[in-house]
Amino acid sequence: MRIATYNVNGINGRLDILLRWLKESRPDIVCLQELKAPQARFPKQALEKAGYGAVWHGQKAWNGVAILERDAVPILTRRGLPDRTTDDESRYIEAIAGGVIVGCLYAPNGNPYPGPKFTRKLDWFKSLTRYGETLLEFGMPAALIGDFNVMPTDLDVYNPARWQDDALFRPEVRKAYRDLVETGWTDAVRALHPDEQIFTFWKYLRNAFARNAGLRIDHCLLSPDLAPHLTACGVDRHVRGWDKTSDHAPVWIELSL
């Protein structure tokens, strides 16, 4: 079973890109972030035509997350994190797909540092960590997948020195990610490729993709009963090279289930 995550950066503006990638890669389950579309403007029919059922959590102009399943409709289990019911941003959706609890997330950016947005990012990670512990206690195969907006280590940044004071790389945020992982999750890409430099995002600016000036910020975390089934993972880098593409590339994992 293949599970992928893709920050599409506008699902309607880049629908052709998304459909092209789905057609060539045919993942079983897909987590999408940054839909940038209100609930009523999700392209349900176009995805159905491509063979994917969907659940989604939209928002006007910003954020927005969705889970797709090939030849099925995911069973929605949650919209939003339990700690953040006053939060009006669409950053978490969860469903059962392929027998796995799939939590699809889009963490806050947190810039500028310091400031209220940065503090909110740390709070959001605490909420995610706490809820993740609840998921682990269920004892059902679970995965937290999406755009975490954090580079966990120096290896995940093309030029670590330049990112020291950025909200995606501040020590507080890296610690928040580490605290989350240490409650029992496995970072799939690092489990299989501990020493390889792997990027999932390249800025639009300054020819970043051609220079490979990238970051690893899209992650797949697996519960203890799922991690032993991990057989492969990768980044569909070539998608980032397409015309009018997202600034992220799709990331995928393969599970022997």
Partner DNA sequence: ATGGCTCACCCGGTGAGA
The 82-111 site mask, x for binding DNA (CB under 7 A), equals: --------------------------xx-x
Q: Which of residues 117-136 bind DNA (CB under 7 A)?
A: 117
Q: Is residue 187 marked as binding? A: no
C-alpha separations of 120 from 111, 137, 152, 176, 180 in Å: 10, 26, 19, 12, 16
- Chain Cα centroid distance, residue 207: 24
Residues linked to residue 75 through DSSP beta bridges, in sequence order: 96
Rounded CA-CA distance 65/79 in Å is 9
Angstrom distance (rounded) from CA 9 to CA 12:
9
Q: Which residues contact 45 (CB under 8 A, 6 or more apart)?
A: none
Q: List the interface residues with DNA, window 146-205 (CB under 7 A).
A: 147, 149, 162-163, 165-168, 201, 203-205
DSSP state at residue 51: T
To the nearest whole angstrom, how small is the minimum distance from the Cβ of residue 62 to DNA? 6
- On whether 9 is known to bind a ligand per the annotation, the reply is no
Residue 147 is a catalytic residue? yes
Beta strands in 90-222 (DSSP E): 92-97, 100-106, 142-147, 186-187, 201-202, 214-215, 218-222
For the window 24-43, what string marks contact with DNA as x by the rule CB under 7 A? ----------x-xxx--x--
Query: Minimum CB separation from DNA for residue 5, in Å?
Result: 12
Of the candidates 106, 113, 131, 177, the residue annotated as catalytic is 106
Taking CB under 7 A as the rule, does residue 247 contact DNA?
yes
- Active-site amino acid positions: 106, 147, 248
Residues of this chain that bind DNA (CB under 7 A): 7, 9-10, 12-14, 34, 36-38, 41, 60-62, 108-109, 111-112, 117, 147, 149, 162-163, 165-168, 201, 203-206, 215, 217, 244, 247-248
